[in-house]
């Protein structure tokens, strides 16, 4: 297990590790696996600035999983330097000896979860499409899971999010949508944790999307620790 403080998973992939005095579960929040989905990155950065700490157990926070894509503000990184333009969220479990940087990076995240065994892995995404149960795929505003049955915490979190929504457009729903080779699904299969992809709709103003993602992270932290 990594000591409290700031660790580098790669020269520019930062992992914040925080530990409470009281023992408890380890929760991992991460964002920026898709570089054009910025609300989660900014939500985690703001929470860190505001003193995001665990009540019990440990918190691991990686605000920018895919720096090449984030710099390009594109879903995968632009083909440039080390980057091959692969969707990092389709590269799991990764390969330490692969020629593609994205596959090596995926392996680093896999090794992190195998070492830390978090109870929750929550990855923050955004979607261009509003969620509609009849339209697949459509994601915003949903808490997405890929392994049945739905983790109970998702139902509780959706109820709490809907209790503080500012309009009916912001209504949250759970969504079962397995994606093979996605970080969440491969990690859940490997360690049996709760895996959640948070998706907000990009049609909302940026500040509101960031606030909603902060609410999700805070509620999940509260529910799971």
- Interface residues with Zn ion (CB under 5 A) are 34, 37, 125
CA angle 151, 33, 220 (to 5 degrees): 30
CB of 123 to Zn ion, least distance (A): 8
Q: Which is nearer to Zn ion, 58 or 198 (CB)?
A: 198
Least distance (Å) between residue 222 CB and Zn ion: 24
* Helices 206-224, 39-49: crossing angle, 10 deg rounding: 60
Secondary structure E strands in the chain? 5-10, 13-19, 26-31, 58-62, 120-127, 142-145, 173-176, 194-201
Pairing of strands 5-10, 26-31: unpaired
CB of 13 to Zn ion, least distance (A): 17
**214 contact partners, CB below 8 Å, separation of at least 6:** 43, 46, 47
Both structure tokens of 148: 């049945």
Residue number with CB closer to Zn ion (38 or 219):
38
Residue 2 or 90: the one with the smaller Cβ distance to Zn ion is 90
| Residue 195 CB, nearest approach to Zn ion (Å) | 14
The residue number whose beta carbon is nearest to Zn ion equals 125
Nearest to Zn ion of 39, 224 (CB atom): 39
Q: How far is the CB of 24 from Zn ion (least distance, A)?
A: 29
Q: Would you say 26 or 220 has its CB closer to Zn ion?
A: 220
């Amino acid at each position: 297990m990594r000591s409290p403080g700031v660790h580098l998973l790669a020269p520019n992939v930062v992992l914040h590790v925080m530990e409470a005095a009281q023992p408890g579960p380890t929760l991992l929040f991460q964002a920026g696996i898709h570089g054009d989905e910025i609300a989660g990155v900014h939500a985690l950065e703001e929470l860190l600035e505001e003193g995001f700490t665990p009540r019990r157990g440990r918190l691991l926070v990686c605000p920018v999983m895919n720096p090449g894509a984030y710099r390009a503000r594109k879903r995968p990184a632009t083909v440039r330097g080390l980057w091959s333009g692969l969707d990092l969220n389709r590269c799991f479990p990764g390969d330490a000896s692969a020629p593609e940087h994205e596959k090596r990076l995926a392996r680093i995240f896999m090794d992190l979860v195998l070492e830390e065994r978090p109870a929750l892995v929550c990855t923050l995404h955004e979607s261009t499409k509003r969620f509609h149960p009849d339209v697949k795929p459509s994601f915003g505003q949903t808490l997405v899971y890929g392994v049945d049955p739905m983790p109970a915490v998702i139902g509780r979190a959706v109820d709490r999010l809907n209790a503080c929504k500012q309009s009916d457009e912001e209504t949250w729903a759970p969504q079962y949508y397995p994606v093979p080779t996605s970080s969440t699904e491969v990690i859940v299969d490997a360690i049996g944790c709760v895996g959640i992809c948070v998706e907000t709709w990009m049609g909302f103003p940026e500040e509101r999307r960031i606030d909603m993602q902060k609410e999700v992270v805070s509620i999940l932290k509260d529910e799971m620790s």
